[in-house]
Amino acid sequence: MPSKRSRACDACHTIKIKCNLGSDGGDPPCTRCVRLGKDCIITPPKRQKDRVAELEAQVASLTRLLEVQNIQANSPVSSVPASTFSATPSTTNGEAMSKKRRLDDATPRESSEETEDPGGNGLPGLDKILKNADQRFIFDKYVQGMMPNFSPVPLIGDVNYDLFRKDRPLLLQAIIYSACHGVLPVDQQEDISKHVTDLLARRATDKAQKSLDIIQAILTVSVWFRFPRYHSNMTGVRLAHYALDIAKELGLEGTCNDYDSAITSHTDSAAAWSTWLFCYLMSANMGILARRSNPIPWTQHEEILLMMLSYWPHGLEYNRLIAQYVRAERLCETLAGTYNLTVPDPMTPEHPSLQGMLSQNSNLLTDWRVQIPPSLPGPSRAALSFWEHYATILLHEAVLHTPTNAASFCAPFTAERLSITDFPAPALVTSQHVNSLCVLRDTCQAFSELYIGLPMSTLTSLPPILFAVRHLYSVSILLRVYIACTAIGNTYGAYVDAESLRVDEVLEKNVDLCDKLHQIDPKCLAARLSSANARLKEWVVNYRVTQGIAEPSIDKPSLAPNGISSMNVMNGVNGISEGLNGISNINGFSDGINANGISAGLDFNDQNTALDWTDFPPLAADPFEQYGYGLEDFFAEPFPDFGTFRNSM
């Protein structure tokens, strides 16, 4: 009789590849773990709980008791004491004893979870951490203070705490996770974080319980991700990948051939369409930031979904808003693909096709501006202005590329990514190069001015992965322009005045913003990301000492000055760079940079915007050390599947 097959090590079993221990037997380590320097561990098999075995054991125990006491078969069952149901089966019944052992091997955690949370919705665990009144307050904060600015999930109908607790408990807990920053002490936030991530892991690995609600809950958590004290392997990028995997399993990426049947269920179909497109938005955004290809290719399927959300007569206003965000992200992805930003060899300033592509892509940006509907509320137009600035930076970023510095443009955007030797210095500086540098200067300054000028309540309610990360990216691009214009051996500095970059002013304002965010909640992602500005400020001081650059003048004009004097000598290009002048005040939407460096028509403080949640109780003192910037964790490699994360907890 052949011997039983040996068990593969955990590292090989996790990614489902062949392990020589499983095929040849023997003791660890396996050849793969030796080659990669991994710990080779074999976890013993664990017998799972069997409900049938439990019932059979109880029946066997009761049958033996009846035989011993000579009780007839028609005797009342109620006369049997309850304690007999826990009697140990006789060893003569081998099958029952074997199944009983499998029952006894069930982990205490599994038994306690079923006892405390029979419905599996996680609410009993949340109630132990947070009182119902506090849950209601945080839910109302999300609905009234965060959702008007940005929401990845459409909350339709009667949006109230009691209804969500009854019908959508998973999404309710994700909302409380996302909105608890600045309200609860750090310890309590960490407990909620652990509870919600545990719950999502259990539900996402249960094939029978995968649903649209799970995808929406994971997307909500990933959008307002916070670095947990627990689960060191959990990142916002991985959460977005998990949501994408579940969406594919549920068939949301399928073809749109049967629209007639979809229209019969207006709400459900529209929710599925917007959920899939938001998965695309998150995937495209992270792909550009990490300079990787998007796992969701833009096809006719996505184009049709976008048209359906935009023009479907039964659609919700929220779905039309999501369509605008997706269209803006699609523009950014198109620009990144045009300049090969997501591949190791992006376009450089010396590329012969650069000037023609800049002109062509500027037209794409102009066309996108015209498509903004006039009916969008103020917060939505303001949010889209960030996409406009972001797309403009991507449009002109190629002027800062070299054949060897492509990897440094991806996240995290820290001082360690900057190089004072690997910068572009073309022998022939054209008017297009100077134009792009000035556009980058003005756009990065306007991005910071717009972001810093928002109310603190709005800043903490915006998704950090879509706003705070891009703001930090704009600061890093401004510093790259500064290096290209001031470093030893540069050729751009003769055409762009380094003083006009106002690097010190931008960094000083960002450091002040960081201090304010840390006073609200030092562990929220927006505060953690802004911490990088202090290090960038130190880097600038050291850079000037190294290069022998004098300190800038004390007299500092406002950001984004009216004119660009250095451009006036270049082919008659006057005033602010082309590509930011665009179209004048379309429906109150941003037309680029105005005289004060702030986009027009982008006031968050109108009557339609979010409430000012400034009366939060003070935070408890944080007993834990600062985690650092945490950017490396946010953009870490994703696990092969959700089960890997589940096993690592």
Predicted pLDDT of residue 25: 74
Predicted pLDDT of residue 364: 92
Residue type at 606 in one-letter notation: D
Every domain of the chain and the residues it spans: 1-45, 52-111, 122-251+633-648, 374-617
Q: For residue 261, what are the CA distances in angstroms to 68, 265, 454, 568?
A: 64, 8, 44, 60
Predicted pLDDT of residue 315: 62
- Counting Cβ atoms within 10 Å, is residue 389 exposed (0-12), middle (13-18) or buried (19+)? buried
| SS3 at position 207 | helix
Q: Residue holding tokens 């190069």? A: 433
Residue 558 clears pLDDT 70, i.e. is over it: no
Task: Classify 1-45 by CATH class.
Answer: few secondary structures
Among 126-130, 308-312, 438-442, 623-627, the range with the most confident prediction by mean pLDDT is: 438-442
pLDDT band at 601 (very low <50, low <70, confident <90, very high): very low
| C-alpha span between 477 and 577 (Å, rounded) | 17
pLDDT tens for 4-17 read 667 888 888 877 77
Residue type at 510 in one-letter notation: N
77-81, 270-274, 296-300, 507-511, range with the lowest pLDDT: 77-81
Enumerate residues 6+ apart whose C-beta is below 8 A from 349.
Answer: 398, 399, 401, 424, 426, 433
Enumerate residues 6+ apart whose C-beta is below 8 A from 67.
Answer: none
Enumerate residues 6+ apart whose C-beta is below 8 A from 263.
Answer: 269, 314
User: 189 and 230 in contact (C-beta within 8 Å)?
Assistant: no
pLDDT tens for 135-147 read 999 999 998 888 8
Enumerate residues 6+ apart whose C-beta is below 8 A from 594.
Answer: 600
- Counting Cβ atoms within 10 Å, is residue 150 exposed (0-12), middle (13-18) or buried (19+)? buried
- Comparing 484 with 66, the larger pLDDT belongs to 484
Predicted pLDDT of residue 426: 92
Greatest Cα-to-Cα distance within the chain, rounded to the nearest angstrom: 111
Q: What is the DSSP letter of 570?
A: S
**Residue 91 structure tokens:** 């060893």
- Tell me, yes or no, if the pTM score tops 0.85: no
75-79, 93-97, 330-334, 418-422, range with the lowest pLDDT: 75-79
pLDDT tens for 413-433 read 989 999 999 999 999 999 999
Quote the distance between the C-alpha of residue 192 and its chain's center: 18
Predicted pLDDT of residue 536: 94
Quick one: which H or E segment has residue 347? none
Residue 257 clears pLDDT 60, i.e. is over it: no
Predicted pLDDT of residue 119: 57
| C-alpha span between 552 and 563 (Å, rounded) | 20
Predicted pLDDT of residue 630: 39
Q: For residue 392, what are the CA distances in angstroms to 10, 72, 114, 331?
A: 47, 87, 53, 10
The candidate with the shortest Cα–Cα distance to 374, out of 324, 446, 314, is 324
DSSP string, 282-314: HHHHHHHHHT---SS---HHHHHHHHHHHH-TT
Residue 639 clears pLDDT 60, i.e. is over it: no
Predicted pLDDT of residue 456: 87
- Counting Cβ atoms within 10 Å, is residue 99 exposed (0-12), middle (13-18) or buried (19+)? buried
Predicted pLDDT of residue 482: 96
Q: How many CB atoms lie within 10 A of CB 296?
A: 22
155-169, 218-232, 453-467, 554-568, range with the lowest pLDDT: 554-568
170-184, 369-383, 507-521, 573-587, range with the lowest pLDDT: 573-587
Predicted pLDDT of residue 39: 83
- Comparing 491 with 382, the larger pLDDT belongs to 491
Residue 229 clears pLDDT 50, i.e. is over it: yes
